[in-house]
Amino acid sequence: MTAAPPQRENARTSAEYAAIGDQLPFYGGRPPEEIEALLKQHGLVSVAGDSLNDLVAAQTRRMVEEGREPRPRQRYVVWGDVPR
């Protein structure tokens, strides 16, 4: 078994995250369809998304390895293009 990285190496504690963390649009765990609709409402085109199943599996494994109750969450990425 591999140990979880030390907290200081966690992405959310990184300098990069600190610089933008309070600006990220997490949108309170809304479903991807809602986020896709939001992007379209704001004029983006070719809007699409993907589930991040590998990330969810890795997070679940880490929780189990740490002796915590696994709480898998839906993770996804949504993107779109600005029309030219």
Q: Considering its fold, how many domains does the chain have in total? A: 1
For residue 44, being part of any structural domain is answered with yes
What tokens were used for 42?
A: 């704001």
What tokens were used for 59?
A: 């997070």
Distance CA 23, CA 17 (A): 10
Distance CA 55, CA 33 (A): 19
For residue 1, being part of any structural domain is answered with no
For residue 51, being part of any structural domain is answered with yes
For residue 21, being part of any structural domain is answered with no
pTM more than 0.75: no
> 14: pLDDT confidence band, cut at 50, 70 and 90?
confident
Whether the per-residue pLDDT at 41 is higher than 70: the answer is yes
For residue 9, being part of any structural domain is answered with no
> 7: pLDDT confidence band, cut at 50, 70 and 90?
low
For residue 14, being part of any structural domain is answered with no
Which domain covers residue 43, as residue numbers?
29-84
